[in-house]
Structure 1
Protein backbone atom coordinates (compact mmCIF):
# COMPACT_ATOMS: atom_id res chain seq x y z
CA UNK A 1 0.00 0.00 0.00
CA UNK A 2 1.35 3.40 -0.92
CA UNK A 3 0.22 6.99 -0.94
CA UNK A 4 -0.50 8.54 -4.31
CA UNK A 5 1.37 11.67 -5.37
CA UNK A 6 -0.96 14.63 -4.95
CA UNK A 7 -1.23 17.09 -7.85
CA UNK A 8 -0.73 20.80 -7.22
CA UNK A 9 -4.44 21.59 -7.20
CA UNK A 10 -6.61 18.68 -8.40
CA UNK A 11 -9.81 20.38 -7.21
CA UNK A 12 -9.60 22.86 -10.09
CA UNK A 13 -11.21 22.10 -13.44
CA UNK A 14 -12.41 18.70 -12.21
CA UNK A 15 -15.70 17.46 -13.64
CA UNK A 16 -17.97 14.67 -12.41
CA UNK A 17 -18.91 11.95 -14.89
CA UNK A 18 -21.16 8.90 -14.42
CA UNK A 19 -18.03 6.72 -14.46
CA UNK A 20 -16.60 8.63 -11.48
CA UNK A 21 -17.06 7.30 -7.95
CA UNK A 22 -16.57 9.99 -5.31
CA UNK A 23 -15.51 9.53 -1.73
CA UNK A 24 -18.14 9.49 1.00
CA UNK A 25 -17.98 11.32 4.33
CA UNK A 26 -18.06 10.35 8.00
CA UNK A 27 -20.93 12.01 9.84
CA UNK A 28 -22.55 11.86 13.27
CA UNK A 29 -26.20 10.99 13.67
CA UNK A 30 -27.78 13.77 15.73
CA UNK A 31 -31.36 12.48 15.79
CA UNK A 32 -34.64 12.73 13.91
CA UNK A 33 -37.09 15.54 13.34
CA UNK A 34 -39.78 16.54 10.85
CA UNK A 35 -39.81 19.00 7.96
CA UNK A 36 -42.46 20.35 5.64
CA UNK A 37 -41.75 20.71 1.93
CA UNK A 38 -42.87 23.59 -0.28
CA UNK A 39 -46.21 21.81 -0.91
CA UNK A 40 -46.94 21.51 2.82
CA UNK A 41 -46.36 17.76 3.11
CA UNK A 42 -44.67 16.53 6.27
CA UNK A 43 -41.60 14.32 5.91
CA UNK A 44 -39.47 12.67 8.61
CA UNK A 45 -35.76 13.45 8.36
CA UNK A 46 -32.57 12.37 10.10
CA UNK A 47 -30.03 15.06 10.93
CA UNK A 48 -26.39 14.16 10.21
CA UNK A 49 -23.50 16.45 11.12
CA UNK A 50 -20.11 16.47 9.38
CA UNK A 51 -17.78 16.75 12.38
CA UNK A 52 -14.39 18.01 11.18
CA UNK A 53 -14.03 15.29 8.53
CA UNK A 54 -10.56 15.48 6.94
CA UNK A 55 -8.59 13.47 4.39
CA UNK A 56 -5.79 11.54 6.08
CA UNK A 57 -4.44 9.52 3.12
CA UNK A 58 -4.91 8.55 -0.52
CA UNK A 59 -4.49 4.79 -0.98
CA UNK A 60 -3.41 2.85 -4.07
CA UNK A 61 -2.95 -0.92 -3.77
CA UNK A 62 -1.95 -3.24 -6.63
CA UNK A 63 -3.88 -6.51 -6.52
CA UNK A 64 -2.57 -9.93 -7.55
CA UNK A 65 -4.23 -9.59 -10.97
CA UNK A 66 -2.34 -6.30 -11.50
CA UNK A 67 -5.47 -4.16 -11.15
CA UNK A 68 -5.36 -1.19 -8.82
CA UNK A 69 -7.51 -0.43 -5.79
CA UNK A 70 -7.99 3.29 -5.13
CA UNK A 71 -9.44 4.71 -1.92
CA UNK A 72 -9.60 7.92 0.09
CA UNK A 73 -9.01 7.58 3.83
CA UNK A 74 -10.93 9.97 6.09
CA UNK A 75 -10.79 10.80 9.78
CA UNK A 76 -13.52 12.54 11.75
CA UNK A 77 -14.22 13.99 15.21
CA UNK A 78 -11.23 15.43 17.05
CA UNK A 79 -9.65 13.34 19.79
CA UNK A 80 -7.25 14.11 22.62
CA UNK A 81 -3.62 13.47 21.82
CA UNK A 82 -3.02 11.70 25.14
CA UNK A 83 -5.69 9.12 24.22
CA UNK A 84 -4.14 8.39 20.81
CA UNK A 85 -1.48 5.75 20.19
CA UNK A 86 1.96 6.84 19.05
CA UNK A 87 1.54 4.99 15.75
CA UNK A 88 -1.69 6.80 14.90
CA UNK A 89 -0.24 10.13 16.04
CA UNK A 90 2.57 9.67 13.51
CA UNK A 91 0.01 8.88 10.81
CA UNK A 92 -2.02 12.01 11.58
CA UNK A 93 1.13 14.12 11.81
CA UNK A 94 2.20 13.03 8.33
CA UNK A 95 -1.23 14.08 7.04
CA UNK A 96 -0.97 17.42 8.89
CA UNK A 97 -4.28 16.85 10.70
CA UNK A 98 -5.17 16.47 14.35
CA UNK A 99 -5.90 13.10 15.99
CA UNK A 100 -9.29 11.63 15.08
CA UNK A 101 -11.73 9.32 16.84
CA UNK A 102 -12.61 7.32 13.73
CA UNK A 103 -10.74 6.54 10.51
CA UNK A 104 -12.41 4.93 7.50
CA UNK A 105 -11.65 4.56 3.80
CA UNK A 106 -13.95 4.88 0.79
CA UNK A 107 -13.21 3.21 -2.56
CA UNK A 108 -13.00 5.73 -5.40
CA UNK A 109 -12.03 5.89 -9.05
CA UNK A 110 -8.48 7.05 -9.88
CA UNK A 111 -9.70 10.55 -10.82
CA UNK A 112 -11.47 11.11 -7.48
CA UNK A 113 -8.52 11.36 -5.08
CA UNK A 114 -8.66 14.34 -2.72
CA UNK A 115 -5.56 16.20 -1.44
CA UNK A 116 -4.44 15.05 2.01
CA UNK A 117 -5.52 17.45 4.74
CA UNK A 118 -8.63 18.68 2.91
CA UNK A 119 -11.60 19.35 5.19
CA UNK A 120 -14.88 18.08 3.74
CA UNK A 121 -18.18 19.88 4.19
CA UNK A 122 -21.88 19.08 4.00
CA UNK A 123 -21.91 20.66 0.51
CA UNK A 124 -20.26 17.43 -0.68
CA UNK A 125 -23.88 16.31 -1.21
CA UNK A 126 -26.45 18.22 -3.24
CA UNK A 127 -30.08 18.60 -2.09
CA UNK A 128 -32.20 16.31 -4.24
CA UNK A 129 -29.61 13.56 -4.68
CA UNK A 130 -29.71 10.13 -3.05
CA UNK A 131 -27.25 8.65 -0.57
CA UNK A 132 -26.52 5.34 1.17
CA UNK A 133 -25.86 5.40 4.91
CA UNK A 134 -23.74 2.67 6.54
CA UNK A 135 -23.68 2.22 10.32
CA UNK A 136 -23.87 -0.30 13.14
CA UNK A 137 -27.50 -0.96 14.08
CA UNK A 138 -28.85 -0.62 17.61
CA UNK A 139 -28.26 -3.80 19.61
CA UNK A 140 -31.46 -5.39 20.96
CA UNK A 141 -29.86 -8.26 22.88
CA UNK A 142 -31.28 -11.81 22.87
CA UNK A 143 -34.77 -11.76 21.33
CA UNK A 144 -37.39 -14.36 20.44
CA UNK A 145 -38.65 -15.34 17.02
CA UNK A 146 -41.59 -12.94 17.01
CA UNK A 147 -39.51 -9.81 17.56
CA UNK A 148 -36.45 -10.96 15.67
CA UNK A 149 -38.12 -12.41 12.57
CA UNK A 150 -41.73 -11.23 12.74
CA UNK A 151 -43.22 -14.68 13.41
CA UNK A 152 -46.94 -14.88 14.12
CA UNK A 153 -46.54 -16.94 17.30
CA UNK A 154 -48.99 -19.54 18.61
CA UNK A 155 -52.67 -19.07 19.44
CA UNK A 156 -53.49 -16.56 22.14
CA UNK A 157 -56.21 -18.86 23.61
CA UNK A 158 -57.80 -22.31 23.25
CA UNK A 159 -55.32 -24.81 24.50
CA UNK A 160 -51.97 -23.02 24.31
CA UNK A 161 -50.40 -22.81 27.75
CA UNK A 162 -47.59 -20.28 28.37
CA UNK A 163 -46.31 -20.77 24.82
CA UNK A 164 -48.04 -17.89 23.06
CA UNK A 165 -44.79 -16.39 21.72
CA UNK A 166 -43.15 -19.71 20.91
CA UNK A 167 -41.63 -20.41 17.49
CA UNK A 168 -43.46 -23.67 17.03
CA UNK A 169 -41.98 -26.64 15.20
CA UNK A 170 -38.49 -26.11 13.78
CA UNK A 171 -37.70 -29.59 12.41
CA UNK A 172 -39.12 -32.27 10.12
CA UNK A 173 -39.81 -36.00 10.52
CA UNK A 174 -37.33 -38.66 11.57
CA UNK A 175 -35.78 -38.09 8.16
CA UNK A 176 -33.72 -35.83 8.23
CA UNK A 177 -34.23 -35.79 11.99
CA UNK A 178 -32.41 -32.51 12.57
CA UNK A 179 -32.81 -28.76 12.27
CA UNK A 180 -31.42 -27.39 9.04
CA UNK A 181 -28.65 -24.78 9.32
CA UNK A 182 -29.88 -21.22 8.87
CA UNK A 183 -33.28 -21.80 10.49
CA UNK A 184 -34.76 -18.57 11.83
CA UNK A 185 -34.78 -18.92 15.60
CA UNK A 186 -34.29 -16.85 18.72
CA UNK A 187 -30.89 -15.21 19.14
CA UNK A 188 -28.89 -12.01 19.26
CA UNK A 189 -30.62 -9.18 17.41
CA UNK A 190 -29.05 -5.98 16.11
CA UNK A 191 -25.55 -4.70 16.64
CA UNK A 192 -24.49 -5.49 13.05
CA UNK A 193 -23.40 -3.38 10.09
CA UNK A 194 -26.42 -2.11 8.17
CA UNK A 195 -26.66 -0.18 4.89
CA UNK A 196 -29.77 1.90 4.24
CA UNK A 197 -30.08 2.63 0.53
CA UNK A 198 -31.48 5.52 -1.48
CA UNK A 199 -32.20 8.18 1.14
CA UNK A 200 -32.99 11.56 -0.41
CA UNK A 201 -31.08 14.64 0.73
CA UNK A 202 -33.71 17.29 1.42
CA UNK A 203 -31.61 20.07 3.01
CA UNK A 204 -27.98 21.06 3.49
CA UNK A 205 -26.98 23.54 6.21
CA UNK A 206 -23.59 24.93 5.21
CA UNK A 207 -23.25 27.07 8.34
CA UNK A 208 -23.60 24.18 10.81
CA UNK A 209 -22.40 21.42 8.44
CA UNK A 210 -25.71 19.57 8.72
CA UNK A 211 -27.18 17.08 6.29
CA UNK A 212 -30.94 16.36 6.38
CA UNK A 213 -31.88 13.03 4.77
CA UNK A 214 -35.42 11.75 4.42
CA UNK A 215 -36.09 8.58 6.41
CA UNK A 216 -34.37 6.71 9.21
CA UNK A 217 -30.70 5.89 9.57
CA UNK A 218 -29.19 2.93 11.48
CA UNK A 219 -27.33 3.52 14.72
CA UNK A 220 -27.83 5.30 18.02
CA UNK A 221 -27.75 9.08 18.38
CA UNK A 222 -24.23 10.57 18.21
CA UNK A 223 -22.94 7.42 16.50
CA UNK A 224 -20.59 7.74 13.53
CA UNK A 225 -22.15 6.81 10.19
CA UNK A 226 -20.68 6.65 6.69
CA UNK A 227 -22.55 8.54 3.98
CA UNK A 228 -21.83 7.98 0.29
CA UNK A 229 -23.49 8.48 -3.10
CA UNK A 230 -26.25 5.91 -3.61
CA UNK A 231 -24.76 2.99 -5.54
CA UNK A 232 -28.04 2.06 -7.19
CA UNK A 233 -29.28 5.49 -8.27
CA UNK A 234 -26.27 7.81 -8.34
CA UNK A 235 -23.80 5.29 -9.81
CA UNK A 236 -25.39 2.29 -11.55
CA UNK A 237 -28.48 4.09 -12.87
CA UNK A 238 -26.42 7.10 -13.96
CA UNK A 239 -24.05 4.89 -15.96
CA UNK A 240 -27.00 3.04 -17.55
CA UNK A 241 -28.77 6.25 -18.62
CA UNK A 242 -25.51 7.70 -19.93
CA UNK A 243 -24.92 4.61 -22.08
CA UNK A 244 -28.51 4.80 -23.41
CA UNK A 245 -28.18 8.49 -24.26
CA UNK A 246 -30.71 9.63 -21.67
CA UNK A 247 -28.58 12.53 -20.53
CA UNK A 248 -31.44 14.33 -18.79
CA UNK A 249 -31.87 11.32 -16.49
CA UNK A 250 -28.24 10.81 -15.52
CA UNK A 251 -28.76 12.78 -12.30
CA UNK A 252 -31.99 12.99 -10.25
CA UNK A 253 -34.48 15.72 -11.04
CA UNK A 254 -33.30 19.11 -9.81
CA UNK A 255 -29.62 18.09 -9.55
CA UNK A 256 -27.40 19.65 -12.23
CA UNK A 257 -23.95 18.56 -11.07
CA UNK A 258 -22.02 17.13 -8.13
CA UNK A 259 -18.96 18.70 -6.47
CA UNK A 260 -15.96 16.80 -7.76
CA UNK A 261 -13.82 15.33 -6.43
CA UNK A 262 -15.29 16.60 -3.12
CA UNK A 263 -17.25 19.40 -1.49
CA UNK A 264 -14.80 21.32 0.71
CA UNK A 265 -15.06 23.83 3.52
CA UNK A 266 -13.82 26.59 1.20
CA UNK A 267 -16.60 25.78 -1.27
CA UNK A 268 -19.21 26.09 1.47
CA UNK A 269 -18.21 29.71 2.21
CA UNK A 270 -19.46 30.83 -1.20
CA UNK A 271 -22.90 29.20 -0.82
CA UNK A 272 -26.05 30.23 1.10
CA UNK A 273 -26.27 29.06 4.73
CA UNK A 274 -29.25 26.79 3.95
CA UNK A 275 -29.94 24.99 0.66
CA UNK A 276 -33.21 23.08 0.34
CA UNK A 277 -34.40 20.67 -2.32
CA UNK A 278 -37.76 21.26 -4.01
CA UNK A 279 -40.55 18.83 -3.27
CA UNK A 280 -40.36 15.50 -5.05
CA UNK A 281 -44.15 15.50 -5.37
CA UNK A 282 -45.78 16.52 -8.64
CA UNK A 283 -49.03 17.85 -7.13
CA UNK A 284 -50.01 18.94 -3.65
CA UNK A 285 -51.18 16.08 -1.39
CA UNK A 286 -54.03 18.30 -0.19
CA UNK A 287 -55.69 18.66 -3.60
CA UNK A 288 -58.48 16.16 -4.39
CA UNK A 289 -57.60 13.53 -6.95
CA UNK A 290 -59.42 13.74 -10.24
Structure 2
Protein backbone atom coordinates (compact mmCIF):
# COMPACT_ATOMS: atom_id res chain seq x y z
CA UNK A 1 0.00 0.00 0.00
CA UNK A 2 1.28 3.40 -0.94
CA UNK A 3 0.84 6.59 0.92
CA UNK A 4 -1.41 9.40 -0.14
CA UNK A 5 1.20 11.97 -1.11
CA UNK A 6 2.72 9.98 -3.97
CA UNK A 7 -0.69 8.95 -5.30
CA UNK A 8 -2.00 12.50 -5.15
CA UNK A 9 0.99 13.81 -7.09
CA UNK A 10 0.40 11.23 -9.82
CA UNK A 11 -3.30 12.01 -9.91
CA UNK A 12 -2.54 15.72 -10.27
CA UNK A 13 -0.13 15.15 -13.13
CA UNK A 14 -2.67 12.96 -14.94
CA UNK A 15 -5.46 15.50 -14.54
CA UNK A 16 -3.27 18.50 -15.36
CA UNK A 17 -3.81 18.00 -19.10
CA UNK A 18 -7.48 19.05 -18.78
CA UNK A 19 -8.05 21.46 -15.89
CA UNK A 20 -7.18 21.99 -12.26
CA UNK A 21 -9.32 21.98 -9.16
CA UNK A 22 -9.75 25.37 -7.48
CA UNK A 23 -11.31 26.32 -4.13
CA UNK A 24 -14.31 27.69 -6.04
CA UNK A 25 -14.88 24.45 -7.95
CA UNK A 26 -17.76 22.13 -7.05
CA UNK A 27 -17.33 18.61 -8.43
CA UNK A 28 -20.00 16.04 -9.14
CA UNK A 29 -20.80 13.35 -6.62
CA UNK A 30 -21.12 9.59 -6.99
CA UNK A 31 -23.81 6.97 -6.42
CA UNK A 32 -22.69 3.91 -4.46
CA UNK A 33 -24.08 1.02 -2.47
CA UNK A 34 -23.56 0.69 1.26
CA UNK A 35 -21.98 -2.75 1.68
CA UNK A 36 -21.71 -2.72 5.48
CA UNK A 37 -19.32 -1.84 8.28
CA UNK A 38 -15.99 -3.25 9.42
CA UNK A 39 -13.06 -2.17 11.56
CA UNK A 40 -9.56 -1.00 10.68
CA UNK A 41 -6.42 -0.10 12.60
CA UNK A 42 -4.30 2.99 12.06
CA UNK A 43 -0.52 3.35 12.18
CA UNK A 44 -0.54 3.32 15.99
CA UNK A 45 -2.74 0.25 16.29
CA UNK A 46 -5.88 2.17 17.25
CA UNK A 47 -9.09 0.43 16.19
CA UNK A 48 -11.79 2.48 14.46
CA UNK A 49 -14.99 1.69 12.51
CA UNK A 50 -15.40 2.24 8.78
CA UNK A 51 -18.26 1.88 6.30
CA UNK A 52 -17.56 0.26 2.92
CA UNK A 53 -19.22 1.89 -0.10
CA UNK A 54 -19.02 0.30 -3.55
CA UNK A 55 -19.62 1.81 -6.98
CA UNK A 56 -21.64 -0.22 -9.50
CA UNK A 57 -20.78 0.99 -13.01
CA UNK A 58 -21.45 4.61 -12.12
CA UNK A 59 -21.67 6.62 -15.36
CA UNK A 60 -22.53 10.15 -16.49
CA UNK A 61 -25.81 10.31 -18.41
CA UNK A 62 -26.30 14.05 -18.96
CA UNK A 63 -24.96 17.54 -18.35
CA UNK A 64 -27.63 20.02 -17.31
CA UNK A 65 -27.61 23.78 -17.84
CA UNK A 66 -30.70 25.89 -17.22
CA UNK A 67 -31.26 29.63 -16.87
CA UNK A 68 -33.31 30.74 -13.87
CA UNK A 69 -35.80 33.60 -13.81
CA UNK A 70 -33.12 35.93 -12.42
CA UNK A 71 -30.88 35.02 -15.40
CA UNK A 72 -28.47 33.05 -13.22
CA UNK A 73 -27.35 29.68 -14.53
CA UNK A 74 -27.83 26.30 -12.90
CA UNK A 75 -25.27 23.63 -13.79
CA UNK A 76 -25.49 19.97 -12.81
CA UNK A 77 -24.13 16.57 -13.79
CA UNK A 78 -26.58 13.67 -14.01
CA UNK A 79 -25.16 10.35 -12.79
CA UNK A 80 -26.67 6.86 -12.99
CA UNK A 81 -25.57 3.60 -11.40
CA UNK A 82 -26.38 -0.12 -11.01
CA UNK A 83 -27.18 -1.80 -14.34
CA UNK A 84 -30.64 -3.32 -14.72
CA UNK A 85 -32.49 -5.40 -17.31
CA UNK A 86 -33.97 -3.45 -20.26
CA UNK A 87 -37.30 -5.28 -19.86
CA UNK A 88 -37.67 -3.73 -16.38
CA UNK A 89 -36.98 -0.20 -17.65
CA UNK A 90 -39.55 2.18 -19.10
CA UNK A 91 -39.31 3.10 -22.78
CA UNK A 92 -38.73 6.73 -21.89
CA UNK A 93 -35.70 5.87 -19.76
CA UNK A 94 -34.45 3.37 -22.34
CA UNK A 95 -34.35 6.19 -24.87
CA UNK A 96 -32.58 8.46 -22.38
CA UNK A 97 -29.90 5.87 -21.63
CA UNK A 98 -29.49 5.00 -25.32
CA UNK A 99 -28.89 8.66 -26.11
CA UNK A 100 -26.18 8.77 -23.45
CA UNK A 101 -24.65 5.52 -24.71
CA UNK A 102 -24.89 3.70 -21.39
CA UNK A 103 -26.81 0.56 -20.35
CA UNK A 104 -30.10 0.94 -18.41
CA UNK A 105 -29.61 1.88 -14.77
CA UNK A 106 -31.55 1.45 -11.55
CA UNK A 107 -30.97 4.91 -10.06
CA UNK A 108 -30.41 8.34 -11.58
CA UNK A 109 -29.41 11.44 -9.61
CA UNK A 110 -28.02 14.85 -10.42
CA UNK A 111 -25.39 16.83 -8.54
CA UNK A 112 -25.07 20.63 -8.80
CA UNK A 113 -21.63 21.66 -10.07
CA UNK A 114 -19.78 24.76 -11.18
CA UNK A 115 -19.62 25.53 -14.93
CA UNK A 116 -16.04 24.20 -15.15
CA UNK A 117 -16.90 20.80 -13.65
CA UNK A 118 -19.03 19.26 -16.38
CA UNK A 119 -18.06 15.68 -17.30
CA UNK A 120 -18.43 14.17 -20.79
CA UNK A 121 -21.57 12.05 -21.18
CA UNK A 122 -20.86 8.32 -20.98
CA UNK A 123 -17.82 8.70 -18.71
CA UNK A 124 -17.43 5.84 -16.23
CA UNK A 125 -16.52 7.19 -12.81
CA UNK A 126 -14.16 5.44 -10.42
CA UNK A 127 -13.66 5.29 -6.68
CA UNK A 128 -10.48 7.32 -7.23
CA UNK A 129 -12.80 10.33 -7.63
CA UNK A 130 -12.43 10.73 -3.87
CA UNK A 131 -8.86 10.95 -2.56
CA UNK A 132 -7.99 9.31 0.78
CA UNK A 133 -7.46 12.07 3.29
CA UNK A 134 -10.36 14.25 2.17
CA UNK A 135 -13.81 14.62 3.73
CA UNK A 136 -17.13 13.68 2.15
CA UNK A 137 -20.85 13.97 2.84
CA UNK A 138 -23.01 10.86 2.45
CA UNK A 139 -26.73 11.22 1.69
CA UNK A 140 -29.21 8.34 1.99
CA UNK A 141 -32.61 7.33 3.30
CA UNK A 142 -32.34 6.37 6.96
CA UNK A 143 -33.54 3.07 8.38
CA UNK A 144 -37.25 3.14 9.22
CA UNK A 145 -38.01 2.54 12.93
CA UNK A 146 -41.80 2.45 12.70
CA UNK A 147 -44.15 4.23 15.13
CA UNK A 148 -42.15 5.34 18.18
CA UNK A 149 -42.86 7.28 21.35
CA UNK A 150 -41.46 10.64 22.33
CA UNK A 151 -38.57 9.23 24.38
CA UNK A 152 -37.10 7.25 21.49
CA UNK A 153 -38.09 9.67 18.74
CA UNK A 154 -37.19 12.99 20.39
CA UNK A 155 -35.03 11.94 23.38
CA UNK A 156 -37.59 13.13 25.93
CA UNK A 157 -36.66 12.52 29.55
CA UNK A 158 -40.00 10.95 30.41
CA UNK A 159 -41.91 11.22 33.69
CA UNK A 160 -40.78 10.11 37.14
CA UNK A 161 -40.00 6.43 37.50
CA UNK A 162 -40.71 6.28 41.25
CA UNK A 163 -43.46 8.13 43.16
CA UNK A 164 -46.52 9.86 41.86
CA UNK A 165 -46.64 8.39 38.37
CA UNK A 166 -48.81 5.43 37.41
CA UNK A 167 -48.31 3.60 34.08
CA UNK A 168 -47.20 6.85 32.45
CA UNK A 169 -43.46 6.68 32.87
CA UNK A 170 -42.65 7.07 29.16
CA UNK A 171 -45.46 9.42 28.19
CA UNK A 172 -44.97 12.83 26.61
CA UNK A 173 -46.65 14.84 29.34
CA UNK A 174 -48.80 17.89 28.72
CA UNK A 175 -49.14 19.01 25.10
CA UNK A 176 -51.50 22.00 25.40
CA UNK A 177 -51.15 25.53 26.70
CA UNK A 178 -54.36 25.94 28.79
CA UNK A 179 -57.34 27.84 27.42
CA UNK A 180 -55.16 30.39 25.67
CA UNK A 181 -54.35 29.47 22.89
CA UNK A 182 -56.56 26.44 23.51
CA UNK A 183 -54.87 24.28 20.92
CA UNK A 184 -51.67 22.33 20.25
CA UNK A 185 -49.01 24.35 18.49
CA UNK A 186 -48.03 23.09 15.02
CA UNK A 187 -44.73 21.23 15.02
CA UNK A 188 -45.14 19.92 18.57
CA UNK A 189 -42.82 16.97 19.13
CA UNK A 190 -45.04 13.96 19.66
CA UNK A 191 -45.09 10.24 18.99
CA UNK A 192 -45.14 9.16 15.36
CA UNK A 193 -43.24 7.47 12.57
CA UNK A 194 -39.49 7.58 13.04
CA UNK A 195 -36.79 7.15 10.39
CA UNK A 196 -37.23 6.55 6.68
CA UNK A 197 -36.12 10.12 5.91
CA UNK A 198 -33.40 11.63 3.75
CA UNK A 199 -30.36 12.10 5.99
CA UNK A 200 -26.99 13.73 5.29
CA UNK A 201 -24.00 12.64 7.37
CA UNK A 202 -21.35 15.31 7.02
CA UNK A 203 -17.56 15.40 7.18
CA UNK A 204 -16.68 11.71 6.98
CA UNK A 205 -12.97 10.98 6.56
CA UNK A 206 -12.01 8.91 3.49
CA UNK A 207 -9.64 6.24 4.83
CA UNK A 208 -8.98 4.00 1.84
CA UNK A 209 -9.84 3.73 -1.85
CA UNK A 210 -9.71 0.47 -3.83
CA UNK A 211 -9.99 1.24 -7.55
CA UNK A 212 -9.99 -2.42 -8.61
CA UNK A 213 -13.18 -3.23 -6.70
CA UNK A 214 -14.41 0.41 -6.69
CA UNK A 215 -14.55 0.49 -2.89
CA UNK A 216 -14.52 3.64 -0.77
CA UNK A 217 -13.84 3.26 2.96
CA UNK A 218 -15.15 6.15 5.08
CA UNK A 219 -14.63 6.50 8.79
CA UNK A 220 -17.81 6.20 10.85
CA UNK A 221 -21.35 5.20 9.97
CA UNK A 222 -23.64 6.34 7.17
CA UNK A 223 -27.46 6.26 6.94
CA UNK A 224 -29.35 3.46 5.19
CA UNK A 225 -29.61 -0.30 5.27
CA UNK A 226 -26.98 -2.57 3.77
CA UNK A 227 -26.99 -2.60 -0.05
CA UNK A 228 -28.98 0.64 -0.15
CA UNK A 229 -27.98 3.32 -2.65
CA UNK A 230 -26.19 6.33 -1.17
CA UNK A 231 -24.92 9.56 -2.68
CA UNK A 232 -21.39 10.72 -1.92
CA UNK A 233 -20.11 14.23 -2.54
CA UNK A 234 -17.24 16.44 -1.42
CA UNK A 235 -17.91 17.75 2.09
CA UNK A 236 -19.80 20.99 1.56
CA UNK A 237 -18.52 22.67 4.72
CA UNK A 238 -14.90 21.51 4.77
CA UNK A 239 -14.10 21.05 1.09
CA UNK A 240 -16.06 23.98 -0.32
CA UNK A 241 -17.03 26.70 2.15
CA UNK A 242 -13.91 26.40 4.30
CA UNK A 243 -11.69 26.15 1.23
CA UNK A 244 -13.14 29.35 -0.22
CA UNK A 245 -12.76 31.11 3.14
CA UNK A 246 -9.09 30.14 3.49
CA UNK A 247 -8.39 31.02 -0.14
CA UNK A 248 -9.84 34.51 0.33
CA UNK A 249 -7.63 35.01 3.40
CA UNK A 250 -4.54 33.76 1.56
CA UNK A 251 -4.15 30.65 3.75
CA UNK A 252 -3.34 28.40 0.79
CA UNK A 253 -1.82 25.67 2.99
CA UNK A 254 -5.22 25.24 4.70
CA UNK A 255 -7.39 25.01 1.61
CA UNK A 256 -7.26 21.19 1.50
CA UNK A 257 -6.69 18.75 4.37
CA UNK A 258 -3.10 18.07 5.32
CA UNK A 259 -1.31 15.87 2.78
CA UNK A 260 -3.50 16.82 -0.19
CA UNK A 261 -2.41 19.10 -3.01
CA UNK A 262 -5.39 18.66 -5.34
CA UNK A 263 -8.40 16.60 -6.33
CA UNK A 264 -9.11 14.74 -9.60
CA UNK A 265 -10.86 17.28 -11.77
CA UNK A 266 -13.44 17.41 -13.22
CA UNK A 267 -13.85 13.79 -12.04
CA UNK A 268 -11.99 10.60 -11.23
CA UNK A 269 -12.45 8.26 -14.18
CA UNK A 270 -11.52 4.66 -14.95
CA UNK A 271 -8.70 5.92 -17.19
CA UNK A 272 -7.23 7.88 -14.30
CA UNK A 273 -7.52 4.86 -12.00
CA UNK A 274 -5.36 2.77 -14.37
CA UNK A 275 -2.47 5.22 -13.89
CA UNK A 276 -2.61 4.99 -10.09
CA UNK A 277 -1.98 2.21 -7.56
CA UNK A 278 -5.02 -0.05 -7.13
CA UNK A 279 -5.24 0.73 -3.41
CA UNK A 280 -4.43 4.02 -1.69
CA UNK A 281 -4.52 4.49 2.08
CA UNK A 282 -4.68 7.80 3.92
CA UNK A 283 -2.23 8.46 6.74
CA UNK A 284 -3.50 8.44 10.29
CA UNK A 285 -5.05 11.65 11.57
CA UNK A 286 -3.34 11.09 14.93
CA UNK A 287 -0.10 12.98 15.58
CA UNK A 288 1.14 11.17 18.69
CA UNK A 289 0.95 7.55 19.81
CA UNK A 290 -2.04 7.26 22.19
CA UNK A 291 -0.48 4.24 23.93
CA UNK A 292 2.64 6.12 25.04
CA UNK A 293 2.21 7.80 28.46
CA UNK A 294 2.46 11.56 28.42
CA UNK A 295 5.40 13.09 30.21
TM-score normalized by the length of structure 2: 0.93
- Equivalent residue, structure 2, for 1:3: none
Q: Which residue of the other structure, out of 151, 156, 162, is the alignment partner of 1:157?
A: 162
Post-superposition CA distance 1:251-285 (Å, at most 9, x none): 00111110000000111112112110000011011
Whether 1:66 aligns to 2:99 is: no
- Equivalent residue, structure 1, for 2:224: 219
Q: Give the distance between the partners of 1:12 and 1:50, measured in 2 at CA.
A: 26
Whether 1:28 aligns to 2:27 is: no
Structure 1 residues not aligned, in runs of 5+: 1-9
**How far off is 1:65 after superposition?**
1.1
Post-superposition CA distance 1:104-133 (Å, at most 9, x none): 000000000000000000000000000001
- Equivalent residue, structure 1, for 2:197: 192
**How far off is 1:153 after superposition?**
1.0
Q: Give the distance between the partners of 1:108 and 1:11, measured in 2 at CA.
A: 19
**How far off is 1:11 after superposition?**
8.4
| 1:27-176 aligned within 5 A | 27-176=32-181
- Equivalent residue, structure 2, for 1:4: none
Give yes or no for contact 1:46–1:216 (8 Å, CA) kept in 2.
yes
Q: Give the distance between the partners of 1:246 and 1:91, measured in 2 at CA.
A: 45
Q: Give the distance between the partners of 2:75 and 2:164, measured in 1 at CA.
A: 63
Q: Give the distance between the partners of 2:261 and 2:37, measured in 1 at CA.
A: 28
- Equivalent residue, structure 1, for 2:214: 209
- Equivalent residue, structure 2, for 1:289: 294
Post-superposition CA distance 1:174-233 (Å, at most 9, x none): 222221111111011111111111000010011110000011101111000000000100
SS at match of 1:162: coil
**How far off is 1:99 after superposition?**
0.1
Whether 1:180 aligns to 2:185 is: yes
Whether 1:265 aligns to 2:270 is: yes
Structure 2 residues not aligned, in runs of 5+: 1-14
Give yes or no for contact 1:11–1:114 (8 Å, CA) kept in 2.
no
SS at match of 1:256: coil
Per mean C-alpha deviation after superposition, the further-off stretch among 105-114 and 147-156 is 147-156
SS at match of 1:31: strand
Q: Give the distance between the partners of 1:173 and 1:75, measured in 2 at CA.
A: 54
Q: How many residues align?
A: 281
**How far off is 1:56 after superposition?**
0.3
Alignment RMSD, CA only? 1.2
Classify 1:283/1:11 alpha carbon distance in 2 versus 1 (closer, same or farther; 3 Å): closer
TM-score normalized by the length of structure 1: 0.95
